[in-house]
Chains A and B, each alone.
Chain A
Amino acid sequence: MHFAPLPYLDPGSGSFLIQLLIAALLGLGIAVRASWGKIKRWFGIKPKADEDDDESTE
């Protein structure tokens, strides 16, 4: 198996780029969900309540 250790000086570019990529995908998902919610509301279907500030970690 090819094994390339991270260089001594690693500015963390890989982490940065993959985060942008994943987040773009996931952000798109949120946007789609939001528009889907709008469409449902237009048909009179109530969306589930948003997480409010009192959410707990449990």
Chain B
Amino acid sequence: MTNQQNSGQLPASFRDPSGFLFSRGGVLYRQVNRAYEHEYARLFESGLYEKLVKAGLLIPHVEVDQASAENARAERSEPTGERSRSDAAYKVIQPERVPFISYPYEWSFSQLKDAALATLSIQRRALKVGMSLKDASAYNVQFVRGKATLIDTLSFEIYKEGKPWVAYRQFCQHFLAPLALMALRDVRLNQLLRVYINGVRLDMASELLPWKSRFNFGLLTHIHLHASAQRRYAGEEVKSRTSGMSKQAMIGLIDNLEATIKKLTWTPHGTEWGNYYDITNYSDAAFEHKKGLMREWANRVKPALIWDLGANTGVFSRIVGTIGSYVVSFDIDPAAVEQNYLQVKSEKTENILPLLLDLTNPSPSIGWANRERESFGSRGPADMVLALAVIHHLAISNNVPLPQLAEFFANTGKWLVIEFVPKSDSQVKKLLASREDIFPNYTREGFESAFIEKFIVHDAVNIHESERVLYLMEGK
């Protein structure tokens, strides 16, 4: 979204009758439609906007010139009909830019949990001033300055006493069900969100959760009984949807959802790389040398956005982060991403975003017309890509030929810091121990000749007390 080049309406916001997102000259705006005037005014008059922004729960914005709105409206090739009056621009706002848009299937357990708790905290504060969230979509939450933040300013409606929470089912599907599955069954089940864009259906969650989850009051009611009720009343219409639930009952519901989610925990264990730095073959001298080079090169290039691919727990992300770049710290291991996020949280780091990513199968673009959620690649390119100790996994474990790797990295970032790990390295020996060596070109020379097709090599340094080589390259 942040790298959207074309102007006009963005595909992620087409559902909302309250307004829409558009970009103009690389800047992101949100049009507030006339139909939403009343709610928008209440958000400010009640002081809710100010409170939420102060707490870091809602993205701040400024109101801008209406003319841009009229232009944007003209660009929407929608026939003028009965919607047109309510579709008219009321205001145009410019929300603070989110440095990198991420999705729930890229979050670690605690990231999804914090996004859930932020949503409930917002709902509770909204109820206090007579408003309520009309959406509880995980896609409306982004990590801004290290904190889970609601980015959809138009998510609020006027609360009517007696009306149940319209976003209850969505909250259960987007947050509670995946969190329960991650905590009680397998942390990798967050990948269900990549398939089911509207969240995990509760009948499926109920089937997959262990039987003992029925002894947890929150999970028994919000997932198991909820799923049974859906089955029992499927297709039936309920009359009078606007009465029957007191405000006290609504607050009780929110409190209980919060307590249920707080009780769900996951402690990393038994995953691939959790204790990687304890088992690596790096000596202290080599590690320090590598750190020094990273600092020096990041300072030389001064990239605004860095993608650290294969970041593990983010040791090198933190080093390049010290120069003020925004670093997205990707790793394939849920335990490493979790540890990274918990560190970001405890140190209140604002410019590092840990995310889960399998480089051999990165996030695709999903949703309506394959355009609602962007793929990994289309959220780039980054100003600088770090590929430290990953090339052997891609070239040897995943059989990707070196020229294809060079092309991939050239499309992913303008600058590249890449570490070549030769066959003589103990880690590569381990990879080759159980398989035939079908990689005659996997040599320093083969690597360099593949990469100079796409890059200018600015620096190549042999790392002390190691057989590895670190390169600083710039895309041609």
Contacts and interface: CB of A to CB of B under 8 A. Distances in A.
Q: Do the two shown chains form a genuine complex with each other? A: yes
B121 A14 contact: no
A26 B241 CA distance: 19
A25 B252 CA distance: 8
Nearest to B54: A54
Interface size class of A (residues with CB under 8 A): 20 to 34
A21 B57 CA distance: 30
A6 B245 CA distance: 25
B249 A16 contact: no
A21 to B, nearest CB: 8
A9 B231 CA distance: 13
Interface in B380-429: none
Given A4-B234, A10-B235, A57-B114, A27 B55 contact: no
Interface string B205-240: 000000000000000011001101111111111100
A44 interface: no
A13 B231 contact: no
Contacts of B128: 53
Interface string B253-275: 10110000000000000000000
Contacts of A20: 164, 244-245, 249
B423 to A, nearest CB: 47
B249 A24 contact: yes
B255 A15 contact: no
Given A22-B253, A56-B55, A57-B57, A14 B230 contact: yes
B237 A11 contact: yes
Given A14-B226, A16-B164, A18-B229, A26 B253 contact: yes
Contacts of A22: 221-222, 225, 253, 256
Contacts of A19: 164-165, 168, 245, 253
Interface in A16-58: 16-20, 22-31, 53-58
Contacts of B121: 55, 57
B187 interface: no
Interface string B70-102: 000000000000000000000000000000000
A30 B238 contact: no
Contacts of B250: 23, 27
B168 A14 contact: no
A57 B122 CA distance: 9
B19 to A, nearest CB: 24
Interface in B265-319: none
Contacts of B232: 14
A42 to B, nearest CB: 21
B238 A16 contact: yes
A30 B252 CA distance: 6
B203 interface: yes
Interface centre among A16, A25, A53, A56, by most B CB within 10 Å? Answer: A16
B125 interface: yes
Contacts of A4: 231, 234
Interface centre among A6, A9, A28, A57, by most B CB within 10 Å? Answer: A57
B169 A15 contact: yes
A55 B121 CA distance: 8
Contacts of B2: none
8 contacts: A10-B234, A14-B234, A17-B238, A19-B168, A22-B221, A23-B250, A24-B245, A57-B55
Given A27-B252, A57-B57, 8 more contacts: A11-B238, A13-B235, A13-B238, A14-B226, A14-B233, A15-B229, A20-B245, A57-B148
The 3 closest A-B pairs by CB, nearest first: A26-B252, A27-B249, A14-B230
Interface of B: 51, 55, 57, 114, 117-118, 121, 125, 128, 147-148, 164-165, 168-169, 172, 201, 203, 221-222, 225-226, 228-238, 241, 244-246, 248-253, 255-256, 345
